Structure 1
Amino acid sequence: MAAAEIHALKQHAEENNNPATWRRPPHNIEAEQALLGALLINNDAYDRVSDFLKPEHFFEPLHAKIYEILATLVASGKLADPVTIKPFIPAEEKIGTMTVFEYVVRLAAEAITIINAADYGHIIYDLYTRRSLINLGEEIVNTAYDAPVELVPAQQIEEAEKRLFQLAETGRYGGGFENFGSALTKAIDMAGAALKRSSRLSGIATRIHSLDNKMGGLQKSDLIILAGRPGMGKTSLATNIAFNIAAACQKDKGEENEGGVVGFFSLEMSSEQLATRIMAEQAEISSSDIRRGNISENDFASLMRAMQKMQQVPLFIDQTGGISVAQLAARARRLKRQHGLDVLVIDYVQLMSGSSRRASENRVQEITEITTGLKALAKELNVPIIALSQLSRQVESREDKKPQLSDLRESGSIEQDADVVLFVFREEYYIKNREPKPGTEDYSKWQTDMENSFGKAEVIIAKQRHGPTGTVRLAFQADYTRFSDLADESRLPERYG
């Protein structure tokens, strides 16, 4: 292509793109010409770029138009060459000294090979991404200068983060179909990683062994619903698991990582309350005594030792109440970018809000939007998400208090979107509330039932896509809000004290 014609084409592109400053947006006219030429001489080259390259990614509008016509013809099984696309382009319009049709013929005539078609496509896409970053930056600046009254700065930040993350995620050449061999390789790698870990698990170990044995750990991209009635200890179990994983993190030690970075969205409790629970569990001091100041000097020294050891644990807490699924997703993405992220915990689903106006008008639709959004986020970030959920009151009206899938509030979407559903159940809680008058025959039976159920809990695996359902029996120490294995004290997670 003659230098004069390329110069004329660049002027044409810049006139159409209306550059706002003297600096020209990043582009590569020659790469666009080379790719279009390759496509015109061999339509098979389209398969190499069709998965990621779209007409809007071209800088020159005429090139975008030609590519769009090429793509339409090839997709419909027709031949795409200068003759077949002529009726659909402004054939007689001038570019420098030649018509558009003559220009298209020249593109095909000067194309040498299709070998580099994918490389040209990547160049075009990368430059489009850079232009998109420039445009996004300008929009952020302009919006910040002239923001409407109803747009608070926090919303603008969340929108900017969302768009940046979308740009980062779409700016990949992968995706689409992969052959079965690649999938098998990933499966073998996962099995090999499990073999290297001391836990022998494919997922992230909760450090509660009987639960890990049943679930194989927490699997990446899974949405795990942890549900129970108030007082059953679902927050305690989630907190135990979150801290166990964070405490086992070995990110910078050059070893096989047994834990991970944990993000905890505490919509109900403050960060101080959550920290108090964890500190009580690790130091083995009653959390109610800590809150009331009913501790000795030795207890306080134990708390200080526990605190010093726990300070470096990669557990991050967000205590914002009533957060929307869009806000939560934006903050989770930010955490993953800044510190990494291996597990996300949300306490709890019913305290979240939907993002759309339509969802806010109907609670069932709102919960559907939330659970669908959480499942999509788990796949997007490739981390397990543990989302706590309330159960409906119908549990209390039954003789058998053990929860079922139908007890989940707005259960349709929660049950459908979840990969795993766990119920926390403590018989002790219900027996304790049925205490009869001392000295009666019923009281003696009640005492026996209390002794049999004291300090015990059940985690019912009601749904699991990757494994069996069933019940895991655990020990529960109410004073320390700690769940642990029943069988063997030596297998309890290491405690700081």
Structure 2
Amino acid sequence: MNALIESGTDMAPHNLDAETAVLAGLMLHNAELANVQDWLAEQDFYSHQHRVIYSAIVALAGSNKPADGVTVGEWIYANVTDDADGLAMLAINLACEAYTAANVVSYAEVIVEHSHKRQFIDTCQKALQAAYSRRGHSAEELAAHMAARLSAIAPVRTTGLRPYREVMKRFSDELLARHRDGKPIGMPTPWADVNKAIGGLQDGQVIVLAARSNMGKSLLGFQLARFTGLRGDAVAVFSMEMNDTDVAARDVAALGEVPLQWIIGQDLSESQEDSDGYWARATVAISEMMGASILLDDDPQLSSPQIVARAKRAHARKPLRLVVLDHLHEMTLPGKQDEALERGQALRDLKGLAKFLKCPVVVLAQLNRAGAEAKRPEVKHIRGSGGIEEVADVILFVHRPDVYNPNDRPGLVEVIVGKGRNIQTGTVVALRNQYQYQRAVDWDGPTYEFNEAPAEPKRPTRQLAPRLGSRRVRQGEDE
């Protein structure tokens, strides 16, 4: 049996005995291919000859033909030009030497493990070459690229199909915890009706929070991060629009109920008594925020691989329970393809991050400038909506009617469910605007019912009928 070749010698890690045993076993018992084909690839074999023979076995099985020494040899003669005679003879010899297929899966795991070690060595060598080169990318970019390459080295075997009873057992446990113990489905948000509408933030999901400018999407994103971090769960915030002290100012304003304009020094007309009160509350808020489990990165030019690498490094120190990114349309793109395609790929990278961390990733996004004007936004209004709609698990919109008409439901912030699995799309939740304190709170006013109004130019398309009751804003007719 070939032993593992130590790093530093002329040969990379491999095990030829395991490779020959797998090929022999597969030709002896073709049905064993189904147990390894989805995770054992041609490139996992160290020997080029063994790669060709494995390709022949897979191709024959795909054509519903038997794969033995003779048929594999015939396939090689028909499809391979270099050293066909030697490869065909090797296949026949392997088939003749086969005596059991019992350990095919175990030997295949050995092959893939060595393959992953070779991938690791190759990645490190390329990283060293790039680092020694005077041209190219910065050290941080190289580290981010290397981290992305290393994270692609998956476990030896994928989960694959499993008995449905296992899935149902796990669902039964979740159902009991939800109804008997009152355990929420996902991570809660600061807003009760949002939790009801979407079931909280689910682990492994990407939640896109989109809005036009001046609607408060960043405010809600930072409020969500603050709420989670103050509960003791680790949060990573990537702020590419605002610097770190601007984010801190908003948090202190929200937590201390201090007007943001006073904090940033734009409103100094208050009385001495008011100023003393603001100072006292701001001091308490600063002290509380120092204890929040929040990590902040305000680098303005981050790419998706850099974000993924930094989040994984933070996760290795303390498991993250939430990632907030402000925002998708500020991210650096490679610039080699259409922007919408690259934006969608960036979101796929973040989706992979969410699954790796097993936590929600909230991504803020911009709408097209000309999209919908004063109407409620829709998925098609998101910049680069095609790729984003395809990847996002949940899409929420933030809309404020009083931005366009100060007399139209002043103080109302609508959170609209644009997409979601197991969620009623189109649901509209009402929040109360407390933007002077950089936050939104649960709606405490009347419920608005939207009725279709006569279509007249430059007039509202809905009439208001205030009614006391639930805080939920009922969905109206499409505008």
Matched, 1:187 2:161: no
The answer for the alignment partner of 2:210 in structure 1 is 227
The answer for the alignment partner of 2:155 in structure 1 is 171
Contact 2:109-2:156 within 8 A present in 1 as well: no
Matched, 1:81 2:68: yes
Structure-1 separation of matches of 2:134 and 2:38: 38
| Unmatched segments (≥5 aa) in structure 1 | 1-5, 94-98, 250-259, 433-448, 489-497
Structure-2 separation of matches of 1:148 and 1:420: 44
Structure-1 separation of matches of 2:276 and 2:61: 79
Matched, 1:153 2:139: yes
Structure-2 separation of matches of 1:472 and 1:275: 27
Tell me the secondary structure at the aligned position of residue 210 of structure 2. strand
**Could you tell me how far 1:212 is from its partner in structure 2?**
0.3
Matched, 1:350 2:329: yes
| 1:470-481 alignment runs, 5 A limit | 470-481=427-438
**Could you tell me how far 1:266 is from its partner in structure 2?**
1.0
Structure-2 separation of matches of 1:245 and 1:239: 10
Matched, 1:52 2:36: no
Q: Which amino acid aligns with 2:293?
A: P
**Could you tell me how far 1:37 is from its partner in structure 2?**
2.4
Task: Encode CA deviations 1:322-358: one digit per residue, 9 max, x unaligned.
Answer: 4333433333343334432332222222222432412
| TM-score (normalised: structure 1) | 0.76
Contact 1:38-1:114 within 8 A present in 2 as well: yes
Matched, 1:421 2:400: no
In structure 2, relative to structure 1, the CA distance for the partners of 1:129 and 1:474 (3 Å cut) is same
Structure-1 separation of matches of 2:7 and 2:351: 41
The answer for the alignment partner of 1:262 in structure 2 is 235
Matched, 1:218 2:201: yes
Matched, 1:463 2:449: no
| 1:51-450 alignment runs, 5 A limit | 51-87=38-74, 88=76, 90=83, 93=86, 101=89, 104=91, 107-145=94-132, 147-167=133-153, 170-195=154-179, 198=182, 200-249=183-232, 260-292=233-265, 296=275, 299-359=278-338, 363-371=339-347, 373-375=349-351, 377-379=353-355, 381-394=357-370, 398=374, 401-432=375-406, 449=407
Contact 2:72-2:91 within 8 A present in 1 as well: no
The answer for the alignment partner of 1:482 in structure 2 is 439
In structure 2, relative to structure 1, the CA distance for the partners of 1:192 and 1:333 (3 Å cut) is farther
Contact 1:267-1:321 within 8 A present in 2 as well: yes
Structure-2 separation of matches of 1:379 and 1:480: 34
The answer for the alignment partner of 2:453 in structure 1 is none
In structure 2, relative to structure 1, the CA distance for the partners of 1:205 and 1:30 (3 Å cut) is same
Moved more, 72-81 or 21-30: 21-30
Contact 1:353-1:366 within 8 A present in 2 as well: no
In structure 2, relative to structure 1, the CA distance for the partners of 1:31 and 1:156 (3 Å cut) is same
In structure 2, relative to structure 1, the CA distance for the partners of 1:34 and 1:366 (3 Å cut) is closer
**Could you tell me how far 1:471 is from its partner in structure 2?**
1.6
Structure-1 separation of matches of 2:34 and 2:60: 13
Structure-2 separation of matches of 1:100 and 1:394: 65
**Could you tell me how far 1:46 is from its partner in structure 2?**
1.3
Q: Which amino acid aligns with 1:324?
A: S
In structure 2, relative to structure 1, the CA distance for the partners of 1:25 and 1:353 (3 Å cut) is closer
**Could you tell me how far 1:22 is from its partner in structure 2?**
3.2
Structure-2 separation of matches of 1:389 and 1:304: 33
When the two chains are superposed, the root-mean-square deviation of aligned CA atoms in Å is: 3.3
Tell me the secondary structure at the aligned position of residue 120 of structure 1. helix
Structure-2 separation of matches of 1:367 and 1:100: 48
**Could you tell me how far 1:285 is from its partner in structure 2?**
1.8
Tell me the secondary structure at the aligned position of residue 292 of structure 1. coil
Structure-2 separation of matches of 1:54 and 1:396: 49
**Could you tell me how far 1:116 is from its partner in structure 2?**
1.9
Tell me the secondary structure at the aligned position of residue 184 of structure 2. coil
Structure-1 separation of matches of 2:9 and 2:136: 34
Structure-1 separation of matches of 2:220 and 2:256: 17
Structure-2 separation of matches of 1:415 and 1:25: 43
In structure 2, relative to structure 1, the CA distance for the partners of 1:138 and 1:413 (3 Å cut) is closer
Task: Encode CA deviations 1:295-320: one digit per residue, 9 max, x unaligned.
Answer: 84564454344333333433222212
In structure 2, relative to structure 1, the CA distance for the partners of 1:334 and 1:232 (3 Å cut) is same
Identity %: 28
**Could you tell me how far 1:467 is from its partner in structure 2?**
1.3
Q: Which amino acid aligns with 1:184?
A: M
Which of the two has greater helix per residue?
1
Structure-1 separation of matches of 2:84 and 2:369: 71
Contact 1:226-1:234 within 8 A present in 2 as well: yes
**Could you tell me how far 1:176 is from its partner in structure 2?**
4.5
Structure-2 separation of matches of 1:474 and 1:224: 19
Structure-1 separation of matches of 2:321 and 2:360: 7
Structure-2 separation of matches of 1:79 and 1:319: 59
Contact 1:326-1:355 within 8 A present in 2 as well: no
Tell me the secondary structure at the aligned position of residue 40 of structure 2. coil
| Unmatched segments (≥5 aa) in structure 2 | 78-82, 269-273, 446-479
Structure-2 separation of matches of 1:139 and 1:462: 44
Q: Which amino acid aligns with 2:392?
A: A
Structure-2 separation of matches of 1:171 and 1:365: 29
Structure-1 separation of matches of 2:344 and 2:235: 25
**Could you tell me how far 1:416 is from its partner in structure 2?**
4.5
Contact 1:129-1:171 within 8 A present in 2 as well: no
Contact 1:325-1:355 within 8 A present in 2 as well: no
Contact 1:405-1:411 within 8 A present in 2 as well: yes
In structure 2, relative to structure 1, the CA distance for the partners of 1:420 and 1:85 (3 Å cut) is closer
Task: Encode CA deviations 1:33-55: one digit per residue, 9 max, x unaligned.
Answer: 32222212111111111111122
The answer for the alignment partner of 1:444 in structure 2 is none
Moved more, 122-131 or 57-66: 57-66
In structure 2, relative to structure 1, the CA distance for the partners of 1:476 and 1:181 (3 Å cut) is same
Tell me the secondary structure at the aligned position of residue 200 of structure 2. coil
Structure-2 separation of matches of 1:310 and 1:219: 25
Task: Encode CA deviations 1:168-225: one digit per residue, 9 max, x unaligned.
Answer: xx33411444454444344334434545765x32111113111101111012333322
